[in-house]
Copies of this chain bind each other. A is one copy, B any other.
């Protein structure tokens, strides 16, 4: 087990549970508690957590999570979702993919032997697709927003308006059966709306923590979702609401 893996696991657990215990980590990693304490000390020195007696807690619980930090969160789940999500793809399709760590995971999971045309405003998605030989990649430029990892603004909207797609992989922020898909940022929501408008169907892959939540800006109604990819542990009651509105549920 690499030191880096332990550090990554600790970061993930901190983001997920809000705390880690030194003894618990030691037995899970199969190393001595001294080693875990050394790990915690290093991460604390790098400002990635705050040490407390018995373990550690997140450094800045209320700091806005940038895309880099978010993508380290729940890596396993997102990878599983991504593998399930790419199964809706068929060769020759045209896609919109917007930002978000889940969408980046999906982009990385796209197999090399499928032919696609993809338009994206996310640098991470574009980077992941940059070396897929059969993917025609269209970068939707504009003002780059560091916290989102995507381009937004008038230029982006204009570029989207010129395109059409079969599917739109919508990086959801909030997902609620009555309020539909919602976003935290106004400019981001504008781009998502434009992509949704010019797409024949919407695909959303969502971890459980996104379900039954809502953000300020409305993006799309729930009945516009064609495929909803969720974890196996997703609450059945919530899924039924989406299913009634026409969404096809796919489990990771």
Contacts and interface: CB of A to CB of B under 8 A. Distances in A.
Interface of A: 2-5, 15, 18-19, 21, 52-55, 57, 61-65, 67-68, 71, 75, 104, 108, 121, 123-124, 126-128, 130-131, 133, 136-144, 146, 149, 151, 155-156, 159, 162
Contacts of A142: 138-139, 141
A54 B124 contact: no
B52 A61 contact: no
B139 A144 contact: yes
Given A2-B21, A121-B141, 14 more contacts: A2-B57, A5-B19, A15-B108, A62-B127, A65-B126, A65-B130, A123-B123, A123-B126, A130-B149, A137-B144, A137-B146, A138-B141, A139-B141, A141-B156
Contacts of A162: 155
A130 B151 contact: no
Contacts of A123: 62, 65, 123, 126-127, 130, 139
Q: Is the interface of A mostly helix, strand, loop or mixed?
A: mixed
Nearest to A126: B123
Contacts of A65: 123, 126-127, 130
